Structure 1
Amino acid sequence: MEFKDKQSIYLQIADYLCEQILLGKWPPGERIPSVRDLASALEVNPNTVMRTYDFLQTREIIFNKRGIGYSAEDNANEKILNYRKERFLESELPEFFKTLYLLNVSIEEIEARYSKFIAETYPVNS
């Protein structure tokens, strides 16, 4: 996994875990990798992964079954979507708006490109 400089590593690992849960790789109730296994796979310190797991537990996305390990909560997908939407609206969207303003890009141009992106990337099955 390639880490970026602009965000803490534990948060990048949290994003990775959330994506895997949303993609169904680790369905609700099933075990996710242990702290040690994930740290080894991602080549990071186990303490960093533990910080990620603590963070996701406080957001009620994962839980720890004593003696068994960590698993995704039953409503993990909903919690992940809420968390990511909140983070996007509070952190990423203001930066996006700033860039639009500085480059003098209109909302109409964004709407047109967004519509084109949706049509090309997620076409409706007939």
Structure 2
Amino acid sequence: MEFKDKQSIYLQIADYICEQILLGKWPPNERIPSVRDLGGMLEVNPNTIMRTYDFLQNKEIIFNKRGIGYSVSEDAQQRILLYKKERFLESELPEVFKTLYLLNITMDEVETLYKQFVVDTFPLNN
């Protein structure tokens, strides 16, 4: 996995895990890779994976079955969507707004581009 400089590695790994869950690769109540296994797969220190797992456990996205390992929570997908929405609104959207303001891009322009993006990217949903 290639990591970016702008965000903590453990949060980037959390995003990766959330993506696997949202894609259905790691379904609810199924075991996820162990701390050591995921550390080896992603080539990071197991302590970093442990920090990620603690973070996701606090968000109730995963849970620890004592003696068995970590598993995906039953309602993980909903919790992930809430977490990602919250993070987007608090962290990323203000940067987008700043850029829109500095470049003098109107909300009408954004709306038009957004609608076209949805039509082009998700044609089956229209």
**TM-score scaled by length of structure 2:** 0.97
**Aligned pairs for 1:11-26 within 5 A:** 11-26=11-26
Instruction: Provide the residue aligned with 2:92 in structure 1.
Output: 92
Question: CA separation in 1, counterparts of 2:38 and 2:124?
Answer: 37
Q: Which runs of 4+ in 1 moved over 4 A?
A: none
Gaps of 5+ in 2: none
**Aligned pairs for 1:30-45 within 5 A:** 30-45=30-45
Once the two structures are TM-superposed, the CA of residue 88 in structure 1 deviates from its matched residue by 0.2
Identical columns (%): 74
Write out per-residue CA displacement over residues 89-125 of structure 1, whole angstroms, 9 at most, x where no aligned residue. Answer: 0000000000000011111111011000000110136
**Aligned pairs for 1:72-87 within 5 A:** 72-87=72-87
| Structure 1 pair 125–83 and aligned structure 2 pair: CA distance change class (3 A) | closer
Question: CA separation in 1, counterparts of 2:70 and 2:89?
Answer: 29
**TM-score scaled by length of structure 1:** 0.97
Once the two structures are TM-superposed, the CA of residue 85 in structure 1 deviates from its matched residue by 0.2
Write out per-residue CA displacement over residues 21-56 of structure 1, whole angstroms, 9 at most, x where no aligned residue. Answer: 000000000011100000000000000000000000
Output the amino acid matched with 2:73: E
Kindly tell me the number of residue pairs found equivalent between the two proteins: 126
Question: CA separation in 1, counterparts of 2:52 and 2:86?
Answer: 18
Question: CA separation in 2, counterparts of 1:122 and 1:68?
Answer: 39
Write out per-residue CA displacement over residues 66-88 of structure 1, whole angstroms, 9 at most, x where no aligned residue. Answer: 11111110000000000000000
